């Protein structure tokens, strides 16, 4: 049984064009640092991918540092605080929060948006060396006022980093447009391979390497480049403009509308804030997230919960707790994330499985008394 895949925020399917480009790169020998012909051809492929990614991000190719993913890009950015105080939003990805446990966390509103007033007060009081605010949240899809935050932070002398891993590919992302010094992106969220990312730098910004050795990436990140991965990232970056996110937004909105129609007590976290078209963070009161994940998985629907603790059981998401969501409701929240390949059938299959579970758990469905809100497809066989 193939699943209805509604977990694009975790990782997206790799585009066929990307697989072909990577396979072609893997078939050729050559280290981009070697001066002979094969080396120069490898270098040419690397630089072509760099230009493609830079074009997609409205950045200069020279200001792009390839990394092993979004996590490494975030941590390379954090290293630029060079021991000085760091300030981050309270809803950042664990690759920032766990890497900077001492960082001052700026609160967010109940909708998950950075509280700019408090942010400014904290900037004046703590004068951080580095500030990091994500563009789109990985659990809720909520967008942050990065440009405004960057302007304020810069006025207080801080370097500004933005984790754009979830946003890139789903909305226009421009380093200059966001007015930040550093921006993280990752290939596997845009139809490229996992294990490749980049930190994009404002032109002229000198950074300290975390990884030293062979001097690759202009001495900003040593280690022989993951050429096939980078080639795949470049190809995926060329394809970001072709997706119809308005179509995906309509699907996501239908899914949310139908859930709320059947279960008015359900909650969509961050629904009142500007959000990505793809993501829905949805609480079904009284039904634990792990129960939902298992029931949906059995019915052939792949979704995620906010966070999983080491035992494999799901704990309440720190993002939702930071938004002031009650712990019991946070523990009943799942993330449904759509992508370019999602269709009506995927939404129907989710709704059929979710509704069956909701009714098994004794949920009262006001829609059951009248006509159904939508016609869900039969459950997966």
Nearer to ligand PLP, 70 or 270 (CB): 70
Binding-site member from 75, 86, 146, 163 for ligand PLP (CB under 6 A): 163
229 binds ligand PLP (CB under 6 A): no
3-state secondary structure of 106: strand
**How many angstroms separate the CA atoms of 275 and 64, rounded?**
27
95 binds ligand PLP (CB under 6 A): yes
Would you tell me how many other CB atoms lie within 10 Å of the CB of residue 377?
16
Interaction mask 173-212, ligand PLP, x per CB under 6 A = -------------x-x--------x---------------
Nearer to ligand PLP, 295 or 305 (CB): 305
Catalytic residue among 162, 281, 309, 332: 309
Binding-site member from 30, 69, 141, 316 for ligand PLP (CB under 6 A): 69
Residues in region 115-134 near ligand PLP by CB under 6 A: 134
Would you tell me how many other CB atoms lie within 10 Å of the CB of residue 100?
20
166 binds ligand PLP (CB under 6 A): yes
93 binds ligand PLP (CB under 6 A): yes
From the CB of 256, what's the least distance to ligand PLP, in Å? 21
From the CB of 155, what's the least distance to ligand PLP, in Å? 26
Nearer to ligand PLP, 308 or 367 (CB): 308
**Active-site residue, 263 included:** no
* Contacts for 231 with CB less than 8 Å, ≥ 6 apart: 21, 22, 24, 25, 45, 46, 48, 49
**How many angstroms separate the CA atoms of 330 and 229, rounded?**
36
Per the DSSP assignment, residues forming a β-bridge with 201 are 182
Structure-token pair, residue 256: 């949310």
Radius of gyration of the chain (CA): 22
The residue whose two tokens read 């390839």 is 66
Which is nearest to 334 in space by CA: 260, 277, 269, 378?
269
Which is nearest to 303 in space by CA: 265, 277, 342?
342
From the CB of 129, what's the least distance to ligand PLP, in Å? 21
* Contacts for 158 with CB less than 8 Å, ≥ 6 apart: 87, 123, 127, 128, 129, 130, 131
Binding-site member from 70, 112, 141, 339 for ligand PLP (CB under 6 A): 70
Q: Which stretch binds ligand PLP (CB under 6 A): 67-75, 124-132, 214-222, 358-366?
A: 67-75
**How many angstroms separate the CA atoms of 190 and 173, rounded?**
13
Q: Which stretch binds ligand PLP (CB under 6 A): 145-153, 159-167, 168-176, 321-329?
A: 159-167
CA angle 163, 167, 170 (to 5 degrees): 165
Is 68 within 8 Å of 226 (Cβ atoms)? yes
Binding-site member from 138, 144, 280, 342 for ligand PLP (CB under 6 A): 138
Structure-token pair, residue 189: 């969220």
112 binds ligand PLP (CB under 6 A): no
Q: Which residues bind ligand PLP (CB under 6 A)?
A: 69-71, 74, 93, 95, 134, 138, 163, 165-166, 186, 188, 197
Q: Which residues are catalytic?
A: 309
């Amino acid at each position: 049984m193939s699943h209805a895949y509604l977990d694009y925020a975790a990782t997206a399917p790799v585009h066929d064009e990307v697989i072909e480009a990577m396979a072609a790169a893997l078939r050729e020998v050559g280290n981009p640092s070697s001066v002979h012909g094969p080396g120069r051809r490898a270098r040419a492929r690397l630089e072509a991918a760099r230009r493609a990614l830079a074009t997609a991000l409205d950045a200069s190719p020279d200001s792009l540092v390839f990394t092993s993913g979004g996590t490494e890009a975030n941590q390379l950015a954090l290293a630029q605080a060079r021991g000085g105080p760091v300030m981050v939003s309270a809803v950042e990805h664990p690759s920032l929060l766990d890497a900077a446990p001492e960082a001052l966390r700026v609160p967010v509103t109940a909708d998950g948006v950075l509280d700019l007033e408090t942010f400014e007060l904290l900037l004046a009081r703590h004068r951080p060396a580095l500030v990091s605010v994500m563009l789109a949240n990985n659990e809720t899809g909520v967008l942050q006022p990065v440009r405004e935050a960057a302007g304020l932070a810069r006025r207080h002398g801080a370097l500004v980093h933005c984790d754009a891993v979830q946003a890139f590919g789903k909305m226009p992302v421009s380093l200059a447009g966001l007015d930040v010094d550093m921006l993280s992106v990752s290939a596997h969220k845009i139809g490229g391979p996992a294990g490749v990312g980049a930190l994009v730098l404002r032109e002229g910004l000198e950074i300290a390497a975390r990884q030293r050795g062979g001097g690759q990436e202009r001495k900003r990140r040593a280690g022989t480049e993951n050429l096939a991965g980078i080639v795949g990232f470049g190809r995926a970056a060329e394809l970001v403009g072709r997706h119809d996110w308005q179509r995906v937004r309509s699907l996501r909105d239908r899914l949310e509308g139908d859930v709320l129609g059947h279960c008015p007590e359900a909650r969509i976290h961050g629904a009142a804030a500007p959000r990505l078209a793809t993501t829905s963070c949805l609480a079904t009161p009284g039904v634990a997230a792990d129960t939902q994940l298992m029931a949906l998985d059995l019915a052939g629907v792949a979704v995620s919960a906010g966070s999983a603790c080491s035992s494999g059981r799901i704990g309440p998401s720190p993002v939702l707790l930071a938004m002031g969501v009650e712990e019991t409701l946070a523990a009943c929240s799942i993330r449904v994330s759509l992508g370019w390949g999602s269709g009506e059938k995927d939404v129907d299959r989710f709704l059929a499985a979710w509704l069956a579970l909701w009714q098994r758990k004794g949920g009262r469905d006001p829609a059951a008394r009248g006509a159904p809100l939508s016609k869900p497809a039969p459950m997966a066989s």
